[in-house]
Structure 1
Amino acid sequence: MKKWVVFVGMVAVLAGCGSDGAKETSESEKNTKSASTTEVSSSTTVQSSSEKKIELKDVDFQVEGTNYKMKIVDRWDVVEDEEFSFAAENEDKAEYMMVTGVKKTDVENFDAIKKAMKEDMKSDDEFHIKEETIKEEPYQTSHYAGELYSFIGNTEGVKAEVRFYFLETETEYVVLNVIGLPSFFEKNNDLVTEMLNSFVAG
C-alpha cells in the first residue's frame, strides 16, 4: 500500500490555512524533528479472539509546538516524516497512523479544514473510495470532542479502511489518521478506542 497516499492532500490543505502558516509550520516541524519520541511504559489489551494479545506503548510528540502523548500499538515503528507531527507504521501488516494539526488561531474554523480534506480525499485518483462505506459521526474521546470520518477503499489492489479522527484541543485542531485492513478494525476496535482515549496534551 502506498503509505501516505490518503493523507498527503490534507497536509497541503493545512499548510495553506491562515496567514504565515507555512512559516509557523516549518518551525513546528523543526521542533517535532528534534523532539524525541520515547516509550515510557507499556500496557496490554486482550483481543476478543484467541489471538495473541496486543501490547500498547506510550509515545510523546509535538503538534505545532504543543506536547502531546498517547498509546499506540507496540508493533508499530515510529517513523520520522517532516510532513507529519507524528507517524507510525507496521508496513508488513498495512497498518499506519499519522497525526498533524494547526493552531486554532491560524485558521478560520475547524469545519473549513474538515470540508476541504474530505473533498480532497474523494478526488484522490490513487485511492478509490467506496461511497457507500463513508461514515461521518460525532466522536468523543476521554479528553476531546470532535468527529470521526471513515471509509473503505482500494489502493494498489489493497482494500483498506481509513479513519480520520478530527479533534479540537485547547490550542490546536488535530487530526489522527489510522489506516489498516478492515479486519484490523473488526478485531481491534476497542484497542483503537483505547488509543484515541489516551491522546492528550501534556
Structure 2
Amino acid sequence: MKNFMNLPLELWFEVFKLLHPFDLLRLSRANSQFRSVLMSRSSEIVWRVARSDIPKLPGPPPGVSEPAWANLAFDSTCHFCSKTGIRRIDFLFRVRTCSACTKNEIISDAAVFPKNENSKEYFLASRILFLIPTKMKKRRERTTGEHTVFLRRDFEQVKDCYLSLPEDEKESYIQRRCSYLQALKKVGLSLSVFILLHL
C-alpha cells in the first residue's frame, strides 16, 4: 500500500478503472487521500469507465454524479439516517430509505396543500409538484383511492429555487425541470430493470 500511495496520479486512475463502482465507493471511504482523489471532478472518467464495464447499467440522470449514482445502485445504507442493510431503493426519487425515513421523507400532497384551493399557496404547491418527481400511491387509511407522493427534500429545494427567481426567468426554469424529469424517469426505469435482473 505504501508503494501504491507513492505512484503518480495517472497510474492511480488506471488501476481505479479496473475496479467495480462499489469498490471505488469503499475505497473513497478508506482514507482522506483516496476520498479527495475519487471525489474530484478529474476522477469522473474513472467512475464512467468502471460503470461501463457493467453490462446494461445505465448512466446517471442529469444532476446526479457518478459516485452518487454508484452509491444509490450498490450501497445498502439509508440516505437519511445511515442505517445499514437497506434494500429498498426508490429510483424515481433517487434515494435508498429505511422504513422510518420512508414515512418521514416521502410525503403526500396533503402535507403541502392548504385547505383554501383559491389561495396563492395552493397554486404554488400545484406548480412545484409539476416540477418534481412524483408518483401515485394507494392511501393507507382507505381501501380505495390514491394520492400523490414525493420526496420532501425535492419539494422544499425546488420551491426555494422557484421563489428566488425573477419572473422573467421562471418559464425557462420550468422548461429545464420538465426536461430533467423526462430524463430521470427514463434512467430510473432502466436502473430498476438492472437491479431486478442483476442484484
Scaled by the length of structure 1, the TM-score of the pair is 0.30
| Structure showing the higher helix proportion among its residues | 2
Between 1 and 2, higher relative CO (CA 8 Å, sep ≥ 6) is seen in 1
Q: Highest Rg: 1 or 2?
A: 2
- The structure richer in strand per residue is 1
